[in-house]
Structure 1
């Protein structure tokens, strides 16, 4: 119910802004914590739960006339590495892929998803060496003929390394269409460059190449007609001929309103997870807590996406959210996912000088960043009650498993940080459960609070 309500709300906001497609939900099953690039884009590691979320997400979006593009078929999380920057290959058996990774897509299809986006990853158990985007076996034999998907297949960005570096992809659009793709997604910012990549950014030239392929007999008109019919059928269903962008001004009454703010905050508060509280430190009492000092990341995603604002790069910090509750709290930000030793020294010195009664330390994927690990361990060594707040993946605890108090927010956006601060000081509950296991510590579904639904 919570998933459906969340996607209903997101669909409503997208629709009122004139947007008619969401490249979501991500239906990867998070089975490999060490090798996966999907992170918090996924619902979790339990196939049945991901499948349930898949149906609710599709129905939520499409109930608001926003086309849900379930991705990345048949489960990008099966392939270690990051297809943005190179060819990645899933080595699991066909049985494993069918049992673990395919069910969420079957659930989405049963729920009526009108669009599916395949991964660029290679699945050797089905079509050895061929990226899914170019695989007739995967897109036509499996997705269409076996699973019965009748909607639109759209590629992921065609500038990713997973297709750019495929040695036979001299005419990538043609290969994708031959495989069963209906729509080509292009991003003009090149992720990976390759001198032999037979690709042009000129749309008219690319259309001409496809037309020439028909003339040369490399592609049939019937194949093009089939895609056109699917696209027209989808556009008709969503009234995109009569009103392609709807009333874009309608968003002013829906997006950014107090109602929208309250709904988003409630969503974040609903998933905050208390993973550990060994000494019963939480909730803190804002009136009697004493001196609070916060050390937390700020704008660190800007390293990967310069100038970005979509991941809280210009948003508020955990420090500011704590200060909204305890005005005399002090704190310091760090600006790198992997702070330098000198930066860690300065942050620890500041924490010592604060002589706080309680420390709150925010992390962002610290498991993969030694600088953050060192920072947390040295703050813990000060010997004061310390609350560690993971604002990215919840796996961070495995890097400093001595932390006695540990919370997972799964996001570093403004409202996630506000929800965390409110939870720490007892102004909101912590109703979430771990969607993934923390290897050697806690299983998926865990919460330190008894009775969490």
Structure 2
């Protein structure tokens, strides 16, 4: 059955699609020409700066100002820094410094870099208030656990990115920071009442909206305190009554990835997409592996839902209009955007300001450096981290107590440096570290995640993130071989 071309084009306008390779396939270019609002790029699309710039230029030739987006938060969640790690500290580091001017300059510089590469929509910042220590999906992606602090930096981030001509996207509404599960795999539950949510989770979103954020991204979480069941992404009360009416947001509502099990695991991506648009989503971020045939199925589901009366055609028109207005803002913003060059060293400067040391840091002479592996979350992906780039011979081990005796024997007569990442979340890692500290009580422990677990040791170094610049800042403190260019 052929689709009504007008309805199909309106359905296309709600789509932010991924694709397979470093080059734009024909189905993507044809889709953009047929009204698809834009694309979302992931690790599999990005290689060198030259390749990225050429790819985005080709996408921009298909139609006037398509949305070209990515998840580039800086810090641990980076796409353009996937080879070495990000040149910008993430939110936890910026929150630790708590200088909104630094945050604004950092995001303006990052936005300028994205604009140079051809991106115009960044699915950042994360403005979640991280109040669950065991949160597996937010953690260092949050500015902190204090709503007012997060709000200050939410506003600064939005202003900085948008000064660079890149539309910001505050996420994950109505707040993913109080969850202990990952919505990539399941539907997390937020156990908080409406008043707690208003004075905690919603405060940073209000600040981002007041700062003029152009888009807000939804969370696939269940928030019964707001009187709804099922994912917030599919709840009209959350997206319309709360976000639109109470908080006064009139920009583009973007769904979190529709291939995540928290939203589509039980009903499939096409049906979840229909429900998301009906609930108030204007732009469907489809995820990483939703390609041509599945995109066609989603488009068909939206058109069929309109024909069957399940989805008002006016809702598609409203979404299409908002997405066109976002693209018009991007065109206008390109004329006055600030370049990245003005603050080229801001990332390393921020990482240096964020680092914290407790205890007495010894002068290290040829230390024995051990990194304890930690699994990368779905949002982070496989991005290098640690100190091995500056300490040749660094050993990386799995979090297994069986490694302890060998490490203890190998490190005799040397200073021991142990590098961990979110050790508070991994009991096996803590067990290994405690055994090593039992043999080397004066060892240096470097935490490159959230410094929640603080065992007794000679010195405890907190970087508040595992970005490349966080690694440099720690290596400088510890006397690693940091090239002179990195000291600029």
- Shorter-chain TM-score: what band? 0.7 to 0.9
Cα drift, residue 72 of structure 1: 0.3
Residue range with higher mean Cα deviation, 31-40 or 10-19: 31-40
SS of corresponding position for 1:395 = coil
1:351 is aligned to 411
Instruction: Give the Cα separation in 1 of the matches to 2:118 and 2:430.
Output: 43
1:172 is aligned to 272
SS of corresponding position for 1:144 = helix
C-alpha distance 2-351 of structure 1, shift in aligned 2 (>3 A): same
Instruction: Give the Cα separation in 2 of the matches to 1:305 and 1:173.
Output: 21
Alignment of 1:76-95 (within 5 A): 76-95=176-195
1:334 is aligned to 396
1:439 is aligned to none
Higher RCO by CA contacts (8 Å cutoff, separation 6 or greater): 2
C-alpha distance 342-114 of structure 1, shift in aligned 2 (>3 A): same
Instruction: Give the Cα separation in 1 of the matches to 2:248 and 2:343.
Output: 40
Superimposed CA distance per residue, residues 377-407 of structure 1 (whole angstroms, 9 cap, x where no aligned partner): 233223463211101221232xxx2224111
Cα drift, residue 8 of structure 1: 0.7
**Where does structure 1 differ by over 4 angstroms across 4 or more consecutive aligned residues?**
166-170, 240-243, 304-309, 425-428
**What is the aligned-residue RMSD (CA, Å)?**
3.2
2:417 is aligned to 360
Q: Give structure 1 stretches of 5+ with no counterpart.
A: 191-198, 324-330, 429-453
Cα drift, residue 290 of structure 1: 4.3
SS of corresponding position for 2:285 = coil
Instruction: State whether residues 332 and 347 of structure 1, in contact with CA within 8 Å, keep that contact through their aligned partners in structure 2.
Output: no
2:350 is aligned to 267
Cα drift, residue 237 of structure 1: 1.0
* Pairs aligned (count): 382
One of 252, 270, 277 as aligned partner of 1:152: 252
Instruction: Give the Cα separation in 2 of the matches to 1:27 and 1:297.
Output: 29
Alignment of 1:279-358 (within 5 A): 281-282=360-361, 284-285=362-363, 289-297=364-372, 301=375, 309=382, 311-312=383-384, 317-322=386-391, 331-336=393-398, 338=399, 340-352=400-412, 355-356=413-414, 358=415
1:412 is aligned to 466
Alignment of 1:418-437 (within 5 A): 418-425=472-479
Q: Give structure 2 stretches of 5+ with no counterpart.
A: 1-100, 483-488
C-alpha distance 307-10 of structure 1, shift in aligned 2 (>3 A): closer
Instruction: Give the Cα separation in 1 of the matches to 2:130 and 2:396.
Output: 29
One of 235, 238, 261 as aligned partner of 2:330: 238
Instruction: State whether residues 86 and 162 of structure 1, in contact with CA within 8 Å, keep that contact through their aligned partners in structure 2.
Output: yes
2:41 is aligned to none
Instruction: State whether residues 24 and 68 of structure 1, in contact with CA within 8 Å, keep that contact through their aligned partners in structure 2.
Output: yes
TM-score w.r.t. the length of structure 2 is 0.71
